[in-house]
Amino acid sequence: MRACISLVLAVLFGLAWADLYSAPTSCEGRCYEAFDKHHQCHCNARCQEFGNCCKDFESLCSGHEGFSHSSDAITKEEIQSISEKIYRADTNKAQKEDIILNSQNCISPSETRDQVDRCPKPLFTYVNEKLFSKPTYAAFINLLNNYQRATGHGEHFSAQELAEQDAFLREIMKTAVMKELYSFLHHQNRYGSEQEFVDDLKNMWFGLYSRGNEEGDSSGFEHVFSGEVKKGKVTGFHNWIRFYLEEKEGLVDYYSHIYDGPWDSYPDVLAMQFNWDGYYKEVGSAFIGSSPEFEFALYSLCFIARPGKVCQLSLGGYPLAVRTYTWDKSTYGNGKKYIATAYIVSST
């Protein structure tokens, strides 16, 4: 099941592929340049996602982010420490017996564009749906049908749908996971009160912006957790609960995976290929078996501490990198940026 881990790790961390690249050049002076197919290795914003970064990308292009003043910066060690606390606090996660996963065929990264279904059976053989009666799961699931997946169509929320956003935030803030995150960020002088924190979460995740031609057709929550379709391709869709529910309805067809994480309990990580009701997802990374508050907390932590950058976490003693992107075309509050996306880019 984990036979392809070593190969994929080499890709995810941007190491040279002997069969594809030779003598990668440096990212010196090239950080976040535009993609150029003629280059042997790359330093653009998405090179880690596609596994074609130059060897020194991490050291040259992923410095300390967060507040601009060093006295306010959140260090890598602090992020790893709080992510371990959040990991231990996730008591709502699935237990081993709650999920039976059938990951089937592991393919090489060079095969992800083939759009070939190499797995005849569903990804999820069994899920204990009693999990979904837990307050945070139920509140999360209520949000998933509030969106039109095609970009370019404006989102218009009813009073009930707006109330469901507030209900979700209210439920997750009762959990130890989110209490750990707020305590950490409060200590870091990012938020003066819990209400200020919740208000900011609502804006950054649920605030609408235009990803297509229609005003207010997207949000960070819709993109990351529910999924979207843009220019004939699936974008976002990084949530296992959404995947399971859509697969159960026959709307998701699991094709293959390129990475299965090292964790022997939940949450685990899977990077997979699938078809979502006629549209293909080339690589979709997702936590498996985590609670909604766990994912929401880690992605929020990374967006606040490393906005638009790679964020180095530690979960159960294993490193994990999450990449976030800011939405730069519009802002809220006093110039704050919305979440454009957040997803897992690497692990060992």
Instruction: Using the structure block, give the residue that is written with the tokens 């989110």.
Output: 178
CA distance 52 to 15: 7
Buried b (16+ CB within 10 A) or exposed e, 143-182: bbebbbbebbeebeeeeebeebbebbbebbbebebbbbbb
Band the pLDDT of 14: cuts 50, 70, 90: very low
Element (DSSP H or E) covering residue 336:
strand 336-347
| Residue 49, pLDDT score | 63
Per-residue model confidence (pLDDT) at position 325 = 94
What is the amino acid identity at position 341?
T
Pinpoint the alpha helices (H) of the chain.
5-12, 47-50, 57-61, 76-89, 135-143, 159-172, 176-187, 194-206, 220-221, 240-248, 292-305
User: Residue 83 and residue 80: Cα distance in Å, rounded?
Assistant: 5
Q: Is the per-residue pLDDT at 164 higher than 70?
A: yes
Does 6 score more than 50 pLDDT? Answer: no
Please give the full DSSP string across 21-62, using - where no structure is assigned. --S----TTTTTPPP-TTSSSB-STTHHHHT-B-TTHHHHH-
What pLDDT score does 290 carry? 98
User: 30-44, 124-138, 269-283, 334-348: lowest mean pLDDT where?
Assistant: 30-44
Q: Supply the angle between the helices 159-172 and 194-206 in degrees, to the nearest 10.
A: 130
Q: pLDDT for 306-323, tens place per residue?
A: 999 999 999 999 999 999
User: Would you say 227 and 236 are in contact if contact means Cβ atoms under 8 Å apart?
Assistant: yes
In this predicted structure, the answer to whether residue 146 has a pLDDT above a threshold of 70 is yes
Q: In the chain, where are the structural domains located? A: 21-56, 76-345
Residue 92 phi/psi, 5-degree rounding, is: -90, 0
Asked if 324 and 299 touch (Cβ cutoff 8 Å), the reply is yes
The answer, yes or no, to whether residue 64 has pLDDT greater than 60, is no
> Is 257 noted as a catalytic residue in this protein?
no
Predicted confidence band at 326 (pLDDT cuts at 50, 70, 90)? very high
> What pLDDT was estimated at residue 125?
98
* Reported confidence tier of residue 189, pLDDT bands at 50, 70, 90: very high
Active site residue 238: yes
When pLDDT is averaged across residues 58-80 and rounded to a whole number, the result is 65
21-35, 41-55, 151-165: which has the highest mean pLDDT?
151-165
Mean pLDDT, residues 122-143 taken together? 98
The reported pLDDT for the residue numbered 129 is 98
Question: Could you give the CA distance from residue 62 to residue 59 in angstroms, rounded to a whole number?
Answer: 6
In eight-state DSSP terms, residue 117 is -
Indicate the average pLDDT of the chain. 87
Model pTM? 0.82
For range 292-318, the mean pLDDT: 96
Q: What pLDDT does 71 receive? A: 39
3 pLDDT tier (thresholds 50, 70, 90): very low
pLDDT beyond 80 at 15: no
Q: Which of 42, 93, 257, 281 is catalytic?
A: 281
Q: Sign of dihedral through CA atoms 78, 84, 87, 89?
A: negative
Max Cα separation, the chain?
57
**Residue 29: predicted pLDDT:** 65
Q: How far apart are CA 311 and CA 330, in angstroms?
A: 23
The CATH-assigned architecture of domain 21-56 is Irregular (4.10)
- Among the listed residues 238, 257, 309, 337, the single catalytic one is 238
Looking at residue 44, its pLDDT comes to 77
Report the percent of the chain where pLDDT is more than 70. 87
Q: Is the pLDDT of residue 26 over 50?
A: yes
Whether cis (ω within 30° of 0) applies to the bond prior to 135 is: no
End-to-end CA distance of the chain: 15
Q: Specify whether 281 is catalytic.
A: yes
Place of tokens 């596994």: 51
Q: Residues of the chain with pLDDT > 90: what percent? A: 71
Residue 243 confidence class, pLDDT cut points 50, 70, 90: very high
| Measured distance CA(1)–CA(318) in Å, rounded | 18
Quote the pLDDT of residue 339. 95
